[in-house]
């Protein structure tokens, strides 16, 4: 499936007419140089409008180039003329993905409003939300999540075909890179709190607990707190996982884990968890509509748990 998808992209890069290729090249140069006047003037002519979806040797359409360069006016103009919003390059990067990678959030927002998939190309191993989590970009993540980005293991169906054993899970990335503000946002949008699937030929290694990743990556206390307060089941543990009494090198973590394993969840915490389950990823948007005190909104959005 992947070789066929890439081959299809390369086939799209082959020009059918020298004049079309020349017009396409000119259009792309206007975008790269920021020459907005000549860019708009050229698109008054049908021969230039005919190549708005033509790809260069790297599979980049004018829209893909404009998104990467952060040329918002060009992006809007091309979309108004009917440019394909999700046309990928030879690396299967969509215009939205490159806009997010380069932190051009104004272009990314416009692309999303015009129908761009928040999860990128389905044949690409990674997703925009994965990249934004890794970069620790709260703004980028929030923009994607507000437009329906997947909080689970997007595109992991590709991994077995590529013989890779690397998880594509935004929550796992947040824990690994210690992006606790990103972790909070993902959990507020209903991200999985217990397992992520890990593709391996060994049956026992196909699932791992996020809680164990929190331990293995030496996360600080807030990581454990956010997972627990979002409903992580701390009692389902692999046999080889560290037990509470084995964490003597981290007494504050040991003390917290000991407390939550020996005491029932508080009523306040249970109510928050119930609302998180009821509203799922719409919780934050619903909170804005609720006529409740700010301190309660802070609590329900997990903002009461400090980052350090």
What is the per-residue pLDDT across 99-117, written as a single tens digit (0 to 9) for each? 999 999 999 999 999 999 9
| Rounded average pLDDT over 197-205 | 46
pLDDT score at 195: 58
Q: How much of the chain is helix, strand and coil, in % rounded to 5?
A: 55, 0, 40
- Please report, rounded to a whole number, the percentage of residues in the chain having pLDDT higher than 90: 53
Q: pLDDT at residue 164 above 50?
A: no
**Domains (ranges, CATH) in the chain?**
17-117 (1.25.40.20), 125-190 (1.25.40.20)
Sequence-distant (≥ 6) Cβ neighbours of residue 266 within 8 angstroms? none
Q: pLDDT at residue 296 above 60?
A: yes
As a whole number of angstroms, the distance between CA 308 and CA 293 comes to 25
As a whole number of angstroms, the distance between CA 102 and CA 97 comes to 9
| Rounded average pLDDT over 225-254 | 75
| Rounded average pLDDT over 7-29 | 70
Query: If you average pLDDT over each of 124-138, 211-225, 245-259, which comes out highest?
Result: 124-138
Instruction: Give the pLDDT band (50/70/90) at residue 202.
Output: very low
pLDDT score at 79: 97
Q: pLDDT at residue 16 above 80?
A: no
pLDDT score at 95: 98
| Rounded average pLDDT over 203-221 | 68
Q: Which residue has the higher pLDDT, 165 or 58?
A: 58
Question: Containing H/E element for 195?
Answer: strand 195-197
Q: pLDDT at residue 4 above 90?
A: no
**C-alpha 186: how far from chain center:** 10
Instruction: Give the pLDDT band (50/70/90) at residue 18.
Output: low
Q: pLDDT at residue 163 above 50?
A: no
Instruction: Give the pLDDT band (50/70/90) at residue 69.
Output: very high
**Per-position DSSP letters for 103-142, written without gaps between them:** T-HHHHHHHHHTT--TT--TTSSS-HHHHHHHHT-HHHHH
pLDDT score at 281: 86
Q: Is the dihedral of CA 155, 156, 161, 164 positive or negative?
A: positive
Sequence-distant (≥ 6) Cβ neighbours of residue 210 within 8 angstroms? 171, 172, 175, 192, 193, 194, 195, 196, 227, 232
pLDDT score at 101: 96
Tokens of 139: 């703004």
Instruction: Give the pLDDT band (50/70/90) at residue 209.
Output: low
pTM for this entry: 0.84
pLDDT score at 246: 66
| Rounded average pLDDT over 278-304 | 90
Least confident residue range of 118-122, 165-169, 180-184: 165-169
pLDDT score at 12: 57
How confident is the prediction for the chain on average, in pLDDT? 83
């Amino acid at each position: 499936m992947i070789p066929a998808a890439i081959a299809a992209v390369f086939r799209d890069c082959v020009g059918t007419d020298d004049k079309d290729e020349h017009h396409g090249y000119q259009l792309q140069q206007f975008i790269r140089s920021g020459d907005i006047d000549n860019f708009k003037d050229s698109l008054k002519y049908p021969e230039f409008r005919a190549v708005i979806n033509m790809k260069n040797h790297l599979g980049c359409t004018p829209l893909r180039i404009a998104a990467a360069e952060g040329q918002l006016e060009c992006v809007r103009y091309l979309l108004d003329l009917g440019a394909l919003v999700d046309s990928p390059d030879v690396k299967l990067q969509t215009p939205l993905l490159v806009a997010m990678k380069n932190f051009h959030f104004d272009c990314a927002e416009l692309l999303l409003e015009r129908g761009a998939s928040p999860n990128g190309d389905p044949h690409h191993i990674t997703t925009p939300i994965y990249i934004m989590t890794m970069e620790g970009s709260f703004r980028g993540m929030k923009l994607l999540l507000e437009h329906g980005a997947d909080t689970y293991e997007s595109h992991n169906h590709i991994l077995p075909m590529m013989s890779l054993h690397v998880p594509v899970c935004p929550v796992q990335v947040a824990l690994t890179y210690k992006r606790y503000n990103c972790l909070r946002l993902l959990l507020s949008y209903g991200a999985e709190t217990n397992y992520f699937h890990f593709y391996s030929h060994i049956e026992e290694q196909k699932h791992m607990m996020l809680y164990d990743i929190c331990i293995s990556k030496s996360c600080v206390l807030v990581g454990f707190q956010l997972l627990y307060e979002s409903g992580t089941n701390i009692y389902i543990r692999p046999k080889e996982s560290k037990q509470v009494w084995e964490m003597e090198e981290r007494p504050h973590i040991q003390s917290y884990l000991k407390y939550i394993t020996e005491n029932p969840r508080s009523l306040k915490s249970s109510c928050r968890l119930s609302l998180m389950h009821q509203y799922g990823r719409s919780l934050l948007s619903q909170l804005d509509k609720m006529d409740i005190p700010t301190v309660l909104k802070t609590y329900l959005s997990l903002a009461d748990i400090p980052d350090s």
